[in-house]
Amino acid sequence: MIFRKEILLIFYILTAVMKIKLPKLHNQILIALIAGAIFGSIFNVSRTALIISYKAIDETKTISIRDWKKFSFVSEGMTFDSISFKAHQQIEIINYFKKVQASDRKVSIILEKYFSTEADGKFDFSILPNVILVNKEKTIATKIKWLGDIFIRLLTMIAIPLVLGSLTVGAASLGDIKKFARIGGKTISFYLVTTSIAISIGLVAANLIQPGKRMNVETKERLLSVYSKDVEVKIGTAEEYNFIDEIVKLIPKNPFAAIANAEMLQIVLFALMLGLVLSLIPKSKGEPVIKFFDGLSEAMIKMVDLIMLIAPIGVFALISATVGEFGFDILQTLFWYVAAVLFGLFTHTLGTYTLIVKLFSKIKLSTFFKGMRKAQTIAFSTSSSAATLPVNMECCQENLGVSKSITSFVLPLGATINMDGTALYQGVAAVFIAQVFGMDLNFMQQLTIVLTATLASIGTAPVPGVGIIMLIIVLKSVGIPEEGIALILGVDRILDMCRTITNITGDAAVAVAVASSEGELLHPDLKNA
Ligand code: ASP
């Protein structure tokens, strides 16, 4: 046998590979996260290159351009647009194109390039007619984002049936109205108190660090112009806030429509009421319905186990696409603002939640934070409390020993209404923007921020990027210019990832405290205590 040696070698390698024990899932996810960040920073999207698609006669052509002397748009009717752009103005060009496109005008691009690389003064002109796309170039790091999207969509797919199923069962399992009111009261009080503490920490951090006063005028002007288009869109999405209206809107006219439109607060209200009345009607009628919802939520939790098998791939793809697309350089520009938000989030997550876990339960701190690792990594990579909910429920029940009924009541409620990280960031952002615009906020204004940010965080949907839309309401309440959100848009994604960790950790800390006060914390730590 000629290949005997080679075959043996392959056999040995295969058996060696099979003997390598894969690390535990949460470590695999952590490794994927770090590897994704490294991969994304290696295959970073260029900050200058653009890809342009245009229609020449009947053909669509796509080219990639990297360097130019002058970049001008010419709109239909040959009126020369006075705006021309330099090489570093990638985002301005893309935004300008979006504006022109929205106005339905046909545009061409005149590109004045250096003739040779030595920039010897000779230029070459190209005309790209009927432009249909102007965008950043993609790299392998951003091209694999779809793998991450599949992962987030799978987790989000579970969230609504899970919230409906588990909250209904959770509310029904509390047994009677008295217990329902007691546990509901405790949970909501904890949520309101922790959220107010979170915003206060945010306000203190922003007043201490004064990030707005450390920003120079040039950076301010640049950020305001670069993100002006995105701000228009965000301001358009933010609705007028009216407290009474919000209360009225809590009640779904049609619960099925609420489910179809993912109206989380309405689903929560319906599930709580349904669960409560199921425990009030005769057992023979209530029990089968409760069993149905119980089966539904169990099935959703089982589905999470399956989805988590691809978590390392999903996390890798999400992080590499985010780092590849946004890079870390914007973090430098907004260093003090980012520092104030992160300082606040750290203080709240490690300080306030430590206090809650220590004061209200006998669980060891290390058990709490270790038990939460998996949920925290998923929160960081998906930026969505809703997508993290199933994993958070699993962590609370299995690692922290919170009983099933408390988990199913406290966590889905928290994922929808309790957003400490979001509220904290809104506090910092409001003060930051005010500082940049030279406004000094007095005590009453800061108190108004505490109130509105608490309400806004309750109304924030547990999905990526909604915090910044709700921030507009907070800014309006104290008269800070809304267009100021342009200053912080560039770092919003990264901070969203971080604040989502705080959001879900807060829900778990409250679940531990409530469970402990009800004698429903079953972790082995307690047996030795
Ligand atoms: N992404 C956050 C969450 O889902 C909400 C936000 O702050 O935008 O918890």
pLDDT (tens digit per residue) in 383-420: 999 999 999 999 999 999 999 889 989 999 999 889 99
Give the count of beta carbons closer than 10 Å to the beta carbon of residue 451: 14
Q: Do residues 434 and 206 lie in contact, with contact meaning Cβ atoms separated by under 8 Å?
A: no
Q: Whole-angstrom Cα distance, residue 285 to residue 62? A: 64
Q: Whole-angstrom Cα distance, residue 161 to residue 61? A: 45
- Residue 521, CA atoms < 13 Å, CB-side half-sphere: 25
Our mutation pick for probing the ligand 1 site, out of 191, 391, 419, counting the most ligand atoms within 8 A of Cβ, is 419
pLDDT single digits (tens) 259-271: 998 888 899 899 9
Give the count of beta carbons closer than 10 Å to the beta carbon of residue 41: 14
- DSSP-derived 3-state class of residue 205: helix
pLDDT score recorded for residue 110: 77
Name the nearest CA neighbour of 294 among 268, 272, 275. 275
pTM for the complete prediction?
Answer: 0.81
Q: Do residues 385 and 499 lie in contact, with contact meaning Cβ atoms separated by under 8 Å?
A: no
Bin 238: left if φ > 0, else alpha if -120 < ψ < 50, else beta.
beta
Name the nearest CA neighbour of 378 among 312, 477, 469, 456. 312
Thinking of the domain 143-528, which architecture would CATH place it in? Orthogonal Bundle (1.10)
Q: How many whole angstroms from 189 Cα to the centroid of ligand 1?
A: 21
21 has pLDDT over 70: no
From the alpha carbon of 466, which atom of ligand 1 is closest? 8
Name the nearest CA neighbour of 468 among 434, 438, 493. 493
From the alpha carbon of 468, which atom of ligand 1 is closest? 8
Give the count of beta carbons closer than 10 Å to the beta carbon of residue 137: 15
Among protein residues, the one whose CA lies closest to atom 7 of ligand 1: 467
Q: How many whole angstroms from 61 Cα to the centroid of ligand 1?
A: 39
What DSSP state is assigned to residue 213? Answer: G
- Residue 71, CA atoms < 13 Å, CB-side half-sphere: 20
Q: How many whole angstroms from 118 Cα to the centroid of ligand 1?
A: 48
Q: How many whole angstroms from 81 Cα to the centroid of ligand 1?
A: 40
Q: Whole-angstrom Cα distance, residue 192 to residue 21? A: 45
- CB-based pocket (< 6 A), ligand 1: 383-385, 419, 422, 460, 462-467, 496, 499-500, 503
174 has pLDDT over 50: yes
Question: Domain locations in the chain?
Answer: 49-137, 143-528
pLDDT score recorded for residue 136: 86
529 has pLDDT over 50: no
Q: How many whole angstroms from 376 Cα to the centroid of ligand 1?
A: 13
From the alpha carbon of 457, which atom of ligand 1 is closest? 7
457 has pLDDT over 90: no
Q: Whole-angstrom Cα distance, residue 47 to residue 79? A: 29
